[in-house]
Amino acid sequence: MEETKRYLQSFLFQNKIDIPRSKQSLFEDFITNETNITAVKIIKEKQQMIMQNWDLINRIDDITNQSVFLPNGTVNKSYEAKIDFIQLGWNDIVSYEIQNLENTGLSFDEEKELLSGNPEISGDLKIKLLFKIEGESEESSFNEKVMTVIINPDPKSLWKNLESDKNAPFAKEDNVAICGSFLNKKIVAASKRGRSHANVGSFREDDFAFNNFTTNGWSVLAVSDGAGSAALSRKGSQLACNTLVEYFEENLDKENLKEFDEILFNHYKKTDPESSKKISHFVYNALLKAAHFVNQKIEEFAIANNEELKKFHATLIFALVKKYDFGYAVLTFGVGDCPIGLLNKDLTEISLMNTIDVGEFGGGTRFITMPEIFQSDKLSSRFGFKLVDDFSYLMLMTDGIYDPKFVVEANLEKIENWNQFLSDLKGNNEDDSKVNFENENEDVAGQLLKWMDFWSPGNHDDRTLAIIY
């Protein structure tokens, strides 16, 4: 009764009706009238229903317009984003479903509240959340909220892959990969044209070559990177590698190999205190002759073809290796910014077998085609020698591999970086691309070439990697 009285008093007051003392008895009869009591009850119920309806539509509007951040994704790259209903304050959502995921490569796990998959299309994906909140009737329609996921295109797809002109002078294959034997070990080598060249249909400028010399027990491996600014560097790198192998085919037996074998044996047994000097003398002379021969042959080729020598600019690194009963002799030479790494058997030490040419602003690289490298004070530092019981890997690479995987020169001297590099080769990478170094693997060359397709922003040069293992 009191509630009815207060409501009617307020109602009459709002309508500027005052009840004098003389009308109090009449007002008391008015509020006890059943018709009026029922009317007040109905009015209050309707008001409560209106408030509830307002709260519902207001809450639905809040959810519909609430900002939900979903991280950007990339086509063909694993995507995962949690839509945390509790954190978003959606405790009152009693039923829902996610729509518009068809043909996107994404799916939603309701139990884990996880949006995941490998996006197949790029663009702004408009994902629909159909939902009902607590208080809505079962017969009511689902409310709709749109959430946007931005999927960026696969950066690889933005690059063209145009074949080089097979009819152009000094044309060569865009990609090459081989595997075989190297002494009593295995070798795999691959050279892949960089995206910057593939995008315009130009040539692969890197090259490599190797050979086993059965007559004397030595094997040689060479890698070269043609200068990007040199118009015919594709031929320069090819000449550098092939001419180097040719030199040792024709001249290695002419060197005093028997004497060198004896020097090495005495060095191993520590019976000759002068052996280190004798080894350095042999390495310097034998490898210097080979490097000078390459320089001369490329110059002769340029003259024969009426071309400037600088058009054939190319780096050159090579390793001459022989297995003895007491271990392996590894002789190296390097000019340019291509490293040679020798990893010991248990992967605890790295020997960087050459000093690479780098410059603070680029242009620090030197080439085998430059006569001045043979007069430089740095010449002696271009040679390397190591006598080891055994090794796990001997790697020669161009900067197309070195730059993205090691970044700076100092990292080449850290074993942890080489172990990380090996882990990458063996499948620990974003592409799950794996090179299986087991002896019976016949597809190792193809696997290495595929691995070389890795994405690294800003690094789109040719990639060449040769591994003895």
8 Å CB contact between 268 and 326: yes
Q: For 329, what's the count of Cα atoms within 13 Å in the CB-facing half-sphere?
A: 22
Task: Say what the pLDDT of residue 360 is.
Answer: 44
Q: Which is it for the CA torsion 66, 69, 75, 76, positive or negative? A: negative
8 Å CB contact between 335 and 324: no
Q: Which is it for the CA torsion 153, 158, 161, 162, positive or negative? A: positive
pTM: 0.79
Q: How far apart are CA 394 and CA 343, in angstroms?
A: 6
Quick: pLDDT tens for 398-431.
Answer: 999 999 999 999 999 999 999 999 999 999 998 8
Which tokens is 171 given?
């044309």
**Cβ neighbours for 86, distance < 8 A, ≥ 6 positions apart:** none
Quick: pLDDT tens for 153-171.
Answer: 998 889 999 999 999 999 9
Strands (E) in 344-411, as ranges, are: 350-352, 383-388, 393-397
Print burial letters for 188-227: b (CB count within 10 Å at least 16), e (below 16): bbbbbbbbebbeeebbbbbbbbbbebeeeebbbbbbbbbb
Task: Say what the pLDDT of residue 361 is.
Answer: 40
Positions in the chain whose pLDDT score sits under 70: 359-364
The structural domains of the chain, ordered by start, are 2-65 (no CATH), 73-158 (2.60.40.10), 175-468 (3.60.40.10)
CA angle 14, 15, 18 (to 5 degrees): 90
Entry field: residues in the chain: 469
Q: How far apart are CA 448 and CA 427, in angstroms?
A: 11
Compute CA distances 369 → 49, 372, 397, whole Å: 91, 9, 19
Query: What is residue 162's DSSP assignment?
Result: P
Task: Say what the pLDDT of residue 365 is.
Answer: 84
What are the CB-based long-range contacts (under 8 Å, 24+) for 193-197? Answer: 193/164, 193/462, 194/400, 194/460, 194/461, 194/462, 194/463, 195/156, 195/159, 195/460, 196/460, 196/461, 197/164, 197/462
Pairing state of beta strands 79-82 and 114-117? antiparallel
Nearest C-alpha neighbor of 313 from the set 371, 256, 352, 258: 371
Task: Say what the pLDDT of residue 130 is.
Answer: 97
